[in-house]
Amino acid sequence: MRNIIGLLAIALATTGCVGKKKYLELEAAYTKLERKQSRTEAKSDKQLDALLVALDDMMKIKRRGLAEVSIEDGRAVIGLEADVLFASGSAELTPEGVAAIQALAPVLRQGNGQFQVEGHTDSDPINTPLVPSNWHLGADRAVAVVTELVKAGVPATRLSAASYGAFQPVVSNNSAANKSQNRRIEIAYVPELAEILPYRQIMDHGTAGKDSDKKGKKGGKG
């Protein structure tokens, strides 16, 4: 785009289609766009570097055999079996679970990556005074993992917790083995929105559309 503007300005000037003032305006627009493009490219490079560092850190976890790492729906995810981390129906980490989380922490606290800890359960209903539903169980387990990661030195500002209950199974809940796979904790790398789409342009476009609708409605009154 910037090359097109630059070439257009030169072409119009050399053919005499525009005056000097118009040429200078086009040249200034070209220079401004070129500077903006340079800043955007530098920012994109920085964001890409941060993303690659985070993904490399996650692959270290897999290479050391600490957990499975996969790409799911475009997200980099660390997968942990809930049966290793927690006793049945409990949101309290077992000694083995504490050890597993502490082993992950040194890798996760490197860099500036943001991570969301997500709790998943099987489809068996639960309803106790402490755990009234699978939503609660998934949430409590996610919070327990976040708490242990913070204790192990991962900055709390880089962590969040979420629960999906029984509603995102990886396999059908039609056997004990499958239910065991669905009971899991996932730690997903969460990139900044700016890294994956031009959100400001989208928001501006949406706002502009609403403003146009409002003006149209006001103009239609009479």
Q: Summarize pLDDT for 128-140 with one digit per residue, the tens.
A: 999 999 999 999 9
Q: Which domain holds residue 75?
A: 64-196
Conformation bin of residue 74: beta by default, left when phi > 0, alpha when psi is -120 to 50: left
In a domain? residue 174? yes
Number of domains in the chain: 1
In a domain? residue 125? yes
In a domain? residue 80? yes
In a domain? residue 132? yes
Q: In Å, how far from its chain's centre is CA 133?
A: 27
First-to-last C-alpha distance (Å) of the chain: 44
Q: How many residues does the chain have?
A: 222
**Do residues 122 and 179 make contact, with C-beta atoms less than 8 angstroms apart?**
yes
Q: Summarize pLDDT for 151-186 with one digit per residue, the tens.
A: 999 999 999 999 999 999 999 999 999 999 999 999
In a domain? residue 68? yes
* CB-based burial label for 168 (10 Å; 0-12, 13-18, 19+): middle
Q: Summarize pLDDT for 66-103 with one digit per residue, the tens.
A: 788 888 777 789 999 999 999 999 999 999 999 999 99
In a domain? residue 216? no
CATH number of domain containing 128: 3.30.1330.60
Which of 46-50, 57-61, 117-121 has maximum average pLDDT? Answer: 117-121
In this predicted structure, what is the pLDDT of residue 185?
A: 97
pLDDT above 50: residue 199: no
**Can you say whether the dihedral through the CA atoms of 3, 5, 6, 10 is positive or negative?**
positive
In a domain? residue 108? yes
